[in-house]
Structure 1
Amino acid sequence: MNLHADRSQLAVVRSHELPWLPSPLAGVDRRPLERLGGEVALATSIVRYAPGSHFSRHRHDLGEEFLVLEGTFSDEHGDYPAGSYVRNPPGSEHSPFSRDGCLLFVKLRQMAPADRELVCVRPSGKSWPEGDLEPISRRPLWARADIRVDLERWSAGATGTIGSSGGGAEWLLLEGSLGATSDGLASHQSMTAGTWVRDPQAQLGALTSATGALLWVKRGHLPEEGGAPPIET
């Protein structure tokens, strides 16, 4: 299955409007955002675990990156409440489950094969800078070389640019709304919670938030050409 498979192209997906598709295991459903391959695939998805559901033990040959959106996700290594950000590197294994159900944003098979860094940032592990009155505030989650992952908080009325020409940007709108101000992008002008954007070449330009917004943002990892490797470098 190929979906938005050319990662050098702009994609805007309102995930909350997509149907849930069953995974091979009962109680685990997915809303695919991008996918390149069959059941073993480079993929970015919203994943839903029903209460008491579990996934069989598996290995992450090219890594797994996820953000817990709702509920608590668990494996044999611990519990990950809403707001947790985790990078399981290539070669890692686990047997995930959820006691009470959860919702995840998951990226699979997008890390460099030699990456061995395990990252786990729980909500209490990072906080917003005290007294930060900037229109756009960042809470860093992870960074390496030119690639970085942040939570961004936009105040009501804030205007800014997320994308860049060097490796582009990808984001998931967690709360609030954003609007694109660039001409010719009328279909993308209203972005609400659940909207996922992949913008390799900063095509959306300046954005504004009338209501305020909270976003998960990853920068510097996207190819500028269709033939480029679809993984972090």
Structure 2
Amino acid sequence: MLINADFSRRVVVVPRQYEWVASPQGGVERVMLDRVGMEKARATSIVRYAPESSFPRHQHPGGEEILVLSGTFSEDGMHYAAGWYLRNPSGSNHQPSSGEGAVIFVKLQQMRPDEQDPVRIDTRAAQSWQNQADREVCPLFSNEAEQTSLQRLALGEALFAEPVDGAELLVLSGNVVADGESYERGSWMRLPAGQYPGIVAATHGTTLYLKIARLGEMPEEA
């Protein structure tokens, strides 16, 4: 299965374009944003858990990255409310579920094999944020292959000051304008290498998930 699999092209998915597809597990649906492979795939998705839904325990070759967007996501007896960021490294396993229901942003099979440390960050906590170049930033993960963070922009502030090797963003609150088009909360954008001075915040305090990386490259051992 190939969905938005040409990483040399710019891709945008807005909430009105969401197509919810049932997963193999009852009560769990996903919007496939990009995908290379079948059920076990290199994939980026928005996943919706109905109340009292769960998956059986399973392993994640290539790792799993999660940002909880709403509700409460649970795994192995731990509960993560909206705003929690999780990285489960390559070869890890878990049993995910949700008692009240949840919506999460998920990336699968996109971590390097040498990444072995799990990550748990509560992005709602004030201490998770810092000022970087006059912008509020919540660092999530960084190595020589990727830089992932949450970013808060002031009204009219451009997201990128310099060219990027590739980038991916999800609007978490507020609104951004890109080349005259407006993108609301829930809009996802994947960008190939280039310059993007036209992506700016349309409201004060717009918050974005941002990954800067060569997104079409499969992870390799360092």
Give the TM-score taking structure 1 as reference length. 0.86
The residue type paired with residue 10 of structure 1 is R
How far off its partner does 1:163 sit?
Answer: 7.2
CA shift in 2, pair 1:133/1:87, >3 Å: closer
State the SS of the aligned residue for 1:201.
strand
Instruction: Give the root-mean-square deviation of aligned CA atoms.
Output: 2.2
Q: Percent identity?
A: 40
For residues 110-150 of structure 1, give each alpha carbon's deviation from its aligned partner in whole angstroms, at most 9, with x where no partner exists. 111232121111233743348x993x421211111242111
State the SS of the aligned residue for 1:113.
coil
Residue 231 of structure 1 corresponds to 219
**Residue segments in structure 1 that go unaligned for 5+ positions in a row:** 224-228
Contact 2:153 2:159 in 1 (8 A): no
* Whole-angstrom CA distance in 2 between matches of 1:15 and 1:164: 27
**Residue segments in structure 2 that go unaligned for 5+ positions in a row:** none
CA shift in 2, pair 1:203/1:5, >3 Å: farther
CA shift in 2, pair 1:52/1:163, >3 Å: farther
For residues 66-118 of structure 1, give each alpha carbon's deviation from its aligned partner in whole angstroms, at most 9, with x where no partner exists. 10000110011511111011110011000000010000000001111232121
CA shift in 2, pair 1:27/1:210, >3 Å: same
Residue 87 of structure 2 corresponds to 87
Contact 1:163 1:200 in 2 (8 A): no
Contact 2:158 2:197 in 1 (8 A): no
* Whole-angstrom CA distance in 2 between matches of 1:3 and 1:230: 16
The residue type paired with residue 49 of structure 1 is Y
Residue 61 of structure 2 corresponds to 61
Contact 1:50 1:100 in 2 (8 A): yes
State the SS of the aligned residue for 1:200.
strand
CA shift in 2, pair 1:165/1:133, >3 Å: closer
Residue 226 of structure 1 corresponds to none
Residue 220 of structure 1 corresponds to 213
Give runs of aligned pairs for residues 140-155 of structure 1, distance below 5 A.
140-155=139-154
Give runs of aligned pairs for residues 1-233 of structure 1, distance below 5 A.
1-122=1-122, 123-124=124-125, 126-129=127-130, 134=134, 136-161=135-160, 164-166=163-165, 168-181=166-179, 189-202=181-194, 204-212=196-204, 213-223=206-216, 229-231=217-219
CA shift in 2, pair 1:65/1:33, >3 Å: same
Give the TM-score taking structure 2 as reference length. 0.90
Contact 2:164 2:195 in 1 (8 A): no
Deviation beyond 6 Å, 4+ runs, structure 1:
none
* Whole-angstrom CA distance in 2 between matches of 1:160 and 1:98: 34
How far off its partner does 1:180 sit?
Answer: 1.7
| 191-200 vs 121-130, which moves further | 121-130
The residue type paired with residue 129 of structure 2 is W
* Whole-angstrom CA distance in 2 between matches of 1:36 and 1:145: 24
CA shift in 2, pair 1:163/1:178, >3 Å: farther
* Whole-angstrom CA distance in 2 between matches of 1:128 and 1:137: 6
Which one has the bigger strand percentage?
2
How far off its partner does 1:206 sit?
Answer: 2.7
How far off its partner does 1:15 sit?
Answer: 3.7
CA shift in 2, pair 1:16/1:96, >3 Å: farther
Contact 1:66 1:107 in 2 (8 A): yes
